[in-house]
Structure 1
Amino acid sequence: MTEEAARLCDEQGFDRLSLAAVAKRFGVAVPSLYKHVGGLEALRREVAMAAAADFAQALGRAAIGRAEADALRAAARAYRDYARAHPGRYAALQQAAPRPGEDDEGAAVFYRSVEVLVPVVRGFGLADEALIDVIRTVRSALHGFVDLELSGGFGLPQGVDASFDVLVEALVRTLRDWPVSAAAQEGADGAHGG
């Protein structure tokens, strides 16, 4: 049932998911769905959890065996490709992300995509203390582009693919030139001065 609900989300939007639509897809009455799912919120959670696992796998498959800029480029393409192929599931990732402490199991599944990005950005030789800021920067840039693209926000006639490539190359340059923290700089200065 979760996979069919996810397909419905991709076709009609995550916000339009309903038990009635799922029941219609299966040719059954809505009450019969309650044998399989505890209601609409439970179904929305199942779709979001499945999407989070699939999304992390897509990113991981793309980045595996690659390093630094090649890994980032591949993960960025996989990010965009997933969102374009599965717009409803991608929306579920944004709208139904569980919070740690409220749904630890769900939060762990959602965190897998971040776990994929950690070695990707570490490949740029960044200090551990910079990882959170770097991952937030990468995710924000990719999500912003994808969200605008999916919502029809790019209305100019020029091709969007080239603009995405420019964004990714800007991220590569940004990570290569990421500012060194004050503590790391002091350590480097001390090593050179000693």
Structure 2
Amino acid sequence: MPRKGLSFDQVLDAAAQLADREGLQNLTLARLASELHIKPPSLYNHIQSLEHLQDSLAARGMQMMIERTRQAAAGRSGKEALFAVAQTHREAAKEHPGLYTATQISVQKFSPESQKLASLYLSTILDVLQGYHLEEEKALHFIRIFRSILKGFMDLEVGGGFGMPLKLEETFELMLETLHSGMLQYSTVKG
């Protein structure tokens, strides 16, 4: 029987905070139980397994990214939308590194519900790229490129991997300008 007053959402909140603070890779059931001041077996009253917990964190992270992406892109298109959405991703990775990392788990490991959210998340990014008038297959390639360059940049930034005395904002903008220019080359609308 679940501990009185402890809900699945509270367990998930604690897991998200722990993952954000210490890294998703350091999230264990024993560590989470300690954080909640319960015995590890008691967690099974709320979750099925560590994989179930990670899937739930991925779903929460994707929901967060869907909402933030939609807000950032609202009323914008093309380059303006691209830059706003990229900045939103960067902010999310800094504010919630554990949740953001959870969204990067292989989609094959997701539950059907989380797979639907992953598809919706990708569709949201695809909507942002519509301003570039790309053929569908090219747009899908550019979603991969967009996510890859952002993840690489954010992993280096959050991990302290940028040591040169250059302004990160300039690097970030140059990276996005390069992506923007690349997508323009493949636009089906010329002129």
Matching of residues 103-142 of structure 1 within 5 Å: 103-142=111-150
**Residue 133 to residue 98, structure 1, CA distance change in 2 (3 Å):** closer
Counterpart residue number, 1:64: 74
Matching of residues 95-110 of structure 1 within 5 Å: 96-99=105-108, 103-110=111-118
Output the amino acid matched with 1:113: Y
Counterpart residue number, 2:97: 87
Runs of 4+ in 1 over 3 A off after TM superposition: none
Output the amino acid matched with 2:71: R
Whether contact under 8 Å (1:83, 1:146) holds in the other structure is yes
**2:167 aligned with 1:165:** no
- Output one character per residue of 1:89-120: Cα deviation in whole Å (capped at 9) or x when no partner: 122122x33318x7332211122221111121
CA drift at 1:179: 6.4
CA drift at 1:35: 0.8
TM-score normalised per structure 2: 0.85
Greater mean deviation of Cα atoms: 42-51 or 170-179: 170-179
Counterpart residue number, 1:36: 46
- Output one character per residue of 1:145-188: Cα deviation in whole Å (capped at 9) or x when no partner: 112222222111222122101111221222122266xxx99xxx
Distance in 2 (CA, whole Å) between partners of 1:66 and 1:176 is 17
Counterpart residue number, 1:9: 19
Counterpart residue number, 2:7: none
Whether contact under 8 Å (1:134, 1:175) holds in the other structure is yes
| Alignment root-mean-square deviation, CA | 2.1
Identical aligned pairs, as a percentage?
32
Rg larger in 1 or in 2?
1
Counterpart residue number, 1:20: 30
